[in-house]
Chains A and B, each alone.
Chain A
Amino acid sequence: MKPDWRVVKAAVALAVLTAAITTAASALGRGGDQATPTLKPKPHVDIESLATKPGVPTDPKEREWFLRKEVVVLSANGLITVAQAQRALREIKRTGTLGGDYAPSTFSVGRLTSLPPQARVPAEVARFVAHVGELTGSAPADANSVRLLRRNLGKGHGDVYGLESRAGTPCFILTGYGGVCVAGGSAAARSGLAFVVGGGDDGLPGVFVGLAADDLRRVELLIDGSNVPVSLEGNVAFAELPAGARSGAVTTRRAGGQISSVQLPDLKG
């Protein structure tokens, strides 16, 4: 049975409206002694991976209907935004699936080979390089392949160094905080942005810092409902988190038009 597109849209709108009314009614009914209600962290929903979860029908029509239903339910429960739901529904309508029209097998960072290697690096970067082999399940990384990608970021005045592991996967570290390597098939490989988030300590704010693939065009960071500007330069995306940040989401856009959105973890946890 082919679902009516207008009905699906109407269901999303109705669910959002119901959630808003419920929230407002709840707020009006509360006593004055509950100034700071407990916020339950939202689960992370990687919308693109819905098509790969167990139980997805193999029949194209059934699959399309299944994915639409999943998106509507996630939206109705407030687990994804209306914009995310609309984007996903458009993709399902266009392709019959989610994430299926794009094969992001590459996470290329040309500057990891074109920039001059660093003769000397800080001790924490050297420790990171020594662990890259373990982190990527490959041979130890070449200590002479480290590149300086960006300098003097944020209140911590951190520098971002990058290198390629022996497995060919890009890795980066922001001094004073930490770093990651990109695993094939991960959300980072799909979105074109490998990031760490959080890590504030000793008066320094938490940060959002990521290594951006060459074809990454835009990064949007939403923290507690507000847009936080992200500086995307030299294959590095960087932003400081506002004090008291609780939750958020990241949306990326690659040159091919691929848009990815992921929820951030509970930043107060």
Chain B
Amino acid sequence: MTGTRHFLATLALFGAIACAFASPASAWYQRYVTSALWYAGSSANSAWNSHTFNAVGFTACCGGSPYMGTKYGRTDGTSTSWMWSNTGSIFDSRTIAYGTAYCGASGANLYPVRVDFCDTGNT
């Protein structure tokens, strides 16, 4: 009987530790944009959650050297600064405990850009 109680107590202890360390949204992933043609200033955002990355793949389909950017929005309405690239990809490795991931085409792009994907998650 004592052994059973000891086993249950140990099990509860490990369970409590596991709960304490588990993230409220661990290992989630969302592709929030797929195959879109974006003109200057277009953007989209993901579901609200915790994020450890925000990645974009894009193609200068229609000429020029268009920029795509990433940032995170917070619940208080503020956001991180945009991070921009014109290489055809961008991987934002900043993290946010709770917020929404954005990807966007620069408002100064002269030509449309083909957005292959915008991915985010907590993996």
Which residues of A are interface residues toward B (Cβ below 8 A)?
A: 41-46, 49, 52-54, 123-125, 127-128, 130-131, 134-137, 173, 175-183, 185-188, 194-201, 206, 262-266, 269
Contact = CB atoms under 8 A, between A and B. Distances in A.
Given A131-B119, A175-B93, A178-B92, A264 B84 contact: yes
Interface string B60-72: 1001111101100
A265 B85 CA distance: 9
Interface in B66-90: 66-67, 69-70, 80-90
A176 B89 CA distance: 17
B100 to A, nearest CB: 15
Interface residues of B, number: 38
A266 B80 contact: no
12 contacts: A43-B110, A44-B67, A44-B109, A125-B93, A134-B55, A180-B88, A181-B87, A187-B65, A187-B86, A199-B94, A201-B80, A265-B106
A195 B85 contact: yes
A187 B89 CA distance: 12
B57 A198 contact: no
Contacts of A123: 52
Nearest to A190: B65
Given A44-B108, A178-B93, A181-B87, A200 B65 contact: no
B86 A266 contact: no
Given A44-B106, A134-B55, A134-B119, A52 B88 contact: no
A186 B83 contact: no
Given A177-B93, A178-B92, A186-B88, A265 B83 contact: no
Contacts of A197: 83-85
B65 A186 contact: yes
Given A124-B52, A186-B65, A269-B106, A180 B85 contact: yes
Contact of B93 (A41, A49, A128, A136): A128
Contacts of A185: 60
B88 A265 contact: no
B55 A135 contact: yes
Contact of A52 (B63, B81, B83): B63
B108 A263 contact: yes
A180 B63 CA distance: 20
Contacts of B109: 43-44
Contacts of B90: 178-180, 196
Given A131-B119, A187-B87, A41 B107 contact: yes
A43 B41 CA distance: 11
Contact of B91 (A54, A131, A137): A131
A124 B93 contact: yes
Nearest to A241: B81
